Amino acid sequence: MTEDIPLEITSSDMANLPIFIAVLIVATVVVRVYFSIKHNEKPPIARVFWCATLLIPLGMVAAWITNQLLVNEDNSLWVLSYSALGAAAVILLVEPLVSGHIDQTDLATGTVACICRDILVIAAVSALSFVSLEIACNETFYRIPANSFGFSVGLLATVLLSLYLLGQRHGGVMALVPVACCILGIAEHFVITFKGEAILPSDILALGTAMEVSEGYEFTFTAGIVTSLALLEISLGLLSLIRPRKLRTPTHVFPAIAANLCAFLLVTVVELSGFSSIDLEQALDF
């Protein structure tokens, strides 16, 4: 029988750290927009929205700390802070450089560069999303068998690919995957706490069961949950890199949209036919 780890409540003063990072990101965005307007450039609206998504996890963690709901944070606040800053740097600095370079190349080179970039991002976000889900609720996630890890990451990659095509090769719609994984991981943390076992794909009543037995329980959030949010921040930063190469002639727009939608339907049909014959609980080693 393992000994319970004592709960160490994080000092409310530590709420200043995520708040400071959020203010720093907002200030940087304001300066970026100011200089865009000053130089008669188009304001980077998409990058502003991407940066706004980074503020949500920071605000959530700051609220948890203020209400003394974060326990045993174990330096996870610094991980979250560095992740948010890194993601903001990717959105505001790296993405304009990469996209600008690709837009200046010829059609063939630009297309190949976009495909290579997008494959790398999808692979990275798939892995990060799975780890984000597991680390929030499973302290021994590193013991997951390689075949289960590979299958799970591959499953997430196929979902990301479908959303990639549905969203016309933009990263915005794809953000649903890491967000959903993070939320599911946090939910599973409390399900395990209340119900004593993880959410199974067939257990659609798990959350309801957990809420039934959670009356009177004081909700607390752990380092694993904060780290899960940090991985979400990194995923959002990477997804901001995904956007199609600018088409030089408007006549290419509608054929490109039609091609993406046809590819989405084809990929979705293949996915559904493939996964319909797979026992997910057995494949995921539940």
137-187 pLDDT, tens digit each = 888 888 888 888 999 999 999 999 999 999 888 999 999 999 999 999 998
Query: Dihedrals φ, ψ of 253, to 5°?
Result: -70, -55
pTM tops 0.85: yes
Q: Are 246 and 101 in contact (CB under 8 A)?
A: no
pLDDT surpassing 70 at residue 195: no
Q: Where are the domains of the chain?
A: 69-283
* CA nearest to 59, candidates 28, 18, 99, 98: 18
Dihedral (CA of 177, 178, 179, 184) sign: positive
* Coil/strand/helix, residue 70: strand
Q: How far apart are CA 18 and CA 22, in angstroms?
A: 6
Q: What is the pLDDT of residues 52-102, one digit of tens each?
A: 999 999 999 999 999 999 987 778 999 999 999 999 999 999 999 999 999
